[in-house]
Amino acid sequence: MHGEAIKFYCILMRAFYGMDYASEADQYFSKALATLDHHWGPFHPLHSTIYGIMAHLLIQKGKMDEAKYLYESSLICSLRVLGPNHIQTAEIHIDFGRLYLRMKNKDESL
């Protein structure tokens, strides 16, 4: 449960999803969030980053609805902690736009 393990857990998430081991990737996703909660609590901006990484991995596997849910969670976290005018909040909006484009929903993307 060392704080520096979060980065390693995110690397393992990417590696296991790349090898089609979704259950192992999900375990490391949970470990990353649990470690973050343990050290810095539930209101840390790194939550939105971890959600974004997992959402990106889900998009690559065609799981758009699950990715949308994670982007929504990421946006809520970023708005609560960083506010609407922060660069990280803007990046999440951009990620949402890309997701909606992949889902062929141009109006929502805008």
DSSP label at residue 42? S
pLDDT in tens, the chain (110 residues): 788 899 999 999 999 998 999 999 999 999 999 999 999 988 899 999 999 999 999 999 999 999 999 999 999 999 999 999 999 999 999 998 999 999 988 888 87
Ordered by start, the domain boundaries in the chain are 5-109
DSSP label at residue 62? T
Predicted TM-score (pTM) of the model is 0.89
Do 48 and 88 touch, CB atoms closer than 8 A?
A: yes
Do 22 and 61 touch, CB atoms closer than 8 A?
A: yes
Distance CA 51, CA 78 (A): 11
**What CATH fold (topology level) applies to the domain 5-109?**
1.25.40
